[in-house]
Structure 1
Amino acid sequence: MNPARITLVTLGVADVARATAFYAALGWKKSADSVQTTAFMIGEAIVLSLWDRAEMVADGGEGDLPAGSGSMALAVNFDSPEAVDAFYARAVEAGASPVKPPKKAFWGGHSGNFRDPDGHLWEVAHNPFWRMDDDGRVDLT
């Protein structure tokens, strides 16, 4: 049996249009399958779903959920420290809140963190010990 493959990540957002504009500025493409309360943003290997937070809470059956708690982070890996710095700058220019500007990390790589406009934590990193395949995906085989 193959392990579960994550194909979609859903983020609860306060303003779908604002979140869509933010992620579009970072290179994600809005799918034609999007609706007013949910935007499906197409990435290289995963779809990012931006769902109206109130609808997500109502659908989940758990009551209100804390936004951007930091107990989970999404990450984008790059093949160089310069690519990390450029993406981080692009995110901040698009409206991200800087958390930790990219710098040399204690583990030998180069990384930084920002929060999207809804408080979701993102890490951008270059790990010199990992291989990236020709499509820019991390190859840990």
Structure 2
Amino acid sequence: MTVTVSPARPEDRARWSELFVGYAEFYEVGLTPADLDRAWSWIHDPARTTCCLLARAQDGTPVGLAHYRAEDSPMHGTRGFLDDLFVDPAHRGGGAVDALLGELRRIAAEQGWPSVRWRTAENNYRARAAYDRHAVRTAFLTYAMDTVR
């Protein structure tokens, strides 16, 4: 399959929503219409740093997404952070992940980011195999502190 990558466009909203819901379901997170509205608005708000790349099949249909942003690090300067990456299960193995990560690498270099970081679930073996082709696994663990009790 030939895959191209480009930023999300307004006319991509419906398909982007399907992909983002699929991503959230994998992580057992329910997204409300308000959640989708918020994320979509961030992607198109020039005052926000959240961006979205879409992997597209030959006919232009989005088959995968990558949400990323600039992340300031006092020790390392500004670098990239990949929040979400998802490919429609029917299109996995067709090069969408490689195309998305390749474009993200190009953008990061263009922006002067020394690196792009991301997290994934320990049991996300298929994605981890793809990530191992593009990046080095770090030794850092992730913690989450609830702010509402």
Q: TM-score when scaled to structure 1? A: 0.29
Q: Which structure has the highest strand share of the two?
A: 1
Q: Which structure has the highest helix share of the two?
A: 2
